[in-house]
Amino acid sequence: MYISDGEKSVFFSTHITTDLERIADYITLVDDGMIFYSGTKDGLIDHFRIVKGGTADLTDTLKTKAIGLTVTSTGFVGMLHTEETHGLPDNIVAETPNIDEILVHISKGGKSR
């Protein structure tokens, strides 16, 4: 295999996140012409959390910090930087995202870079 010796790199651009999850070591995400993230694939996944809760749990702080926030009549879902999830109330769920979820939230509105 061409890249199995660890001496060569392959650069490719894709929107197919399953390819990234299978073969990428490093990822650079570009949003609106700006680099949103550049680093290891594992670092990207560790950098964010998907947060979910009921409408009563959505504070003004969460509204400000959440990336790609979606609010419905029953609750909300958004993405935060992992360090911003410390101290959240117990009724707000914080989950590890996959790359596709990260891209969806960034495309909805990357408020926080």
pLDDT band of 3, cuts 50, 70, 90: low
Q: In what order do the strands lie in the sheet with 76-81?
A: 67-71, 76-81, 48-53, 93-95
User: Which amino acid is residue 8, in one-letter code?
Assistant: K
Quote the pLDDT of residue 31: 80
Nearest to 80 by CA among 111, 36, 38: 111
pLDDT surpasses 90 at 21:
no
Q: What is the pLDDT of residues 52-104, one digit of tens each?
A: 999 999 999 999 999 999 999 999 999 999 999 998 988 999 999 999 999 89
Taken in order 104, 96, 26, 11, is the CA torsion positive or negative?
negative
